[in-house]
Amino acid sequence: MATLEVRGLYKTFFPGTPDEVRALRGLDFSIEPGSFVVVIGTNGSGKSTTLNAVAGTFLADAGSITLAGHNITRWPEHRRARFIGRVFQDPLAGTSPTLSIAENFALASQRGQPRRLGLAVTRRRIAEFREHVRPLGMRLEDRLDNPIGSLSGGQRQALTLLMATFRKPELLLLDEHTAALDPRSAEQVIRLTDEIVRSQQLTTMMVTHSMAHAASLGDRLVMVHQGRLILDVTGAEKRRLRPHDLLEKFEELRRSDQLDETAAQLIRASYV
């Protein structure tokens, strides 16, 4: 059974206003357990909206989402967190700056669980968190008491990734999580991502703008355009993909969009 099943998903933002955006137009796909799916698409294609629809940032207008055997279509965002780990594009978005590293981990270790009156950070858990951040090689294991806001964006994003996967999620959502980092940090976080996803065999969706990452990571690649999937590549075909193949796809899209535009103009000119 698939981990995630999205069926006929529609979403229009600001309907009936000049700002109306038909962001999702019949999105349809499913993801098998353990699959690492890379999501690409042009700006405004709906790739981030796809992730947000699954995470529950908004409720869809039509269609259904099934995750880990539960129909979560009408679930609020915080309830879905039981199954979903997330890393945002903004490296400051995934951590609580005035709380210490240990406290942030304590919050993450209870993702989707009821919060009770037990101590959040105990000595035993500190030891656990310490072992968890040691492999990063950032010397954060000795600074667990420091507020997380004192760390760099790259360090915070690496910690957010560790936090999102501390309790093994049914689905990991990565929304351009390296786009706002400097190149060195971005590479570090990407390597960490690959390591964690492989070793824990996490079912993952990763949106990226980097064609290099899109080609080298994951075992499946989908392309979103105008709120639908227009390309879905897996297996050997995915392994053969190179960055320039992907750029070609984008170029193709651009050309066909232009064609549509000129055709529309033609019609407008002759009929309106």
The Cα-based distances of 69 to 1, 54, 83, 257 in angstroms read 8, 14, 11, 38
Binding mask 218-247 for another protein (x = CB under 8 A): ------------------------------
| Residue 112 CB burial class (10 angstroms; 0-12, 13-18, ≥19) | middle
- Residue 190's contacts (CB-CB under 8 Å, 6 or more residues apart) are 178, 213, 217
Q: Considering only residues 17, 98, 199, 270, which one is a binding residue for another protein as defined by CB under 8 A? A: 98
Contact string 118-157 vs another protein (x = CB under 8 A): xxxx------------------------------------
Beta carbon nearer to another protein, 30 or 96: 96
Torsions phi, psi for 67 (to 5 deg): -130, 125
Closest CA to 84 of 26, 155, 157, 3: 3
Options 111, 132, 177, 220; binder of another protein; rule CB under 8 A = 111
**Based on CB atoms, which residue is closest to another protein, 206 or 211?**
206
Among 5, 61, 77, 194, binds another protein (CB under 8 A): 77
Q: What are phi and psi of 183, to 5 degrees?
A: -55, -40
Query: Of the listed pieces 1-9, 31-39, 86-94, 239-247, which binds another protein according to CB under 8 A?
Result: 86-94
Q: Residue 4 Cβ, how far from another protein at the closest point, in Å? A: 17
Minimum distance between the CB of residue 111 and another protein, rounded to whole angstroms?
5
186 binds another protein (CB under 8 A): no
Element (H, E) at 214: helix 211-216
Shortest approach of another protein to residue 99 CB, angstroms?
6
Part in contact with another protein (CB under 8 A); list of ranges 32-40, 77-85, 234-242, 250-258: 77-85
Contacts with another protein by CB under 8 A: the residue count is 35
- Using the CB atoms, write b or e for 64-102: b if 16+ within 10 Å: ebbbbeeebbebeeeebbbbbbbbbbbbeebbeeebbbb
For another protein, which residue of 4, 27, 73, 86 counts as binding (CB under 8 A)? 86
Q: Does 74 bind another protein (CB under 8 A)?
A: no
Among 101, 108, 190, 214, binds another protein (CB under 8 A): 108
CA angle 30, 33, 34 (to 5 degrees): 120
Toward another protein, which CB reaches closer, 89 or 229? 89
Residues 260 and 243: their CA atoms lie apart, in Å, by 26
Radius of gyration in angstroms for the set of CA atoms belonging to the chain, rounded to a whole number: 20
DSSP for 7-21 reads EEEEEEESTTSTT-E
Rounded-to-integer distance, Cα 228 and Cα 9, Å: 9
- Using CB under 8 A as the criterion, which residues of the chain lie in contact with another protein when the complex forms? 55, 76-79, 81-82, 84, 86, 88, 92-99, 103-104, 106-108, 110-113, 115-121, 163
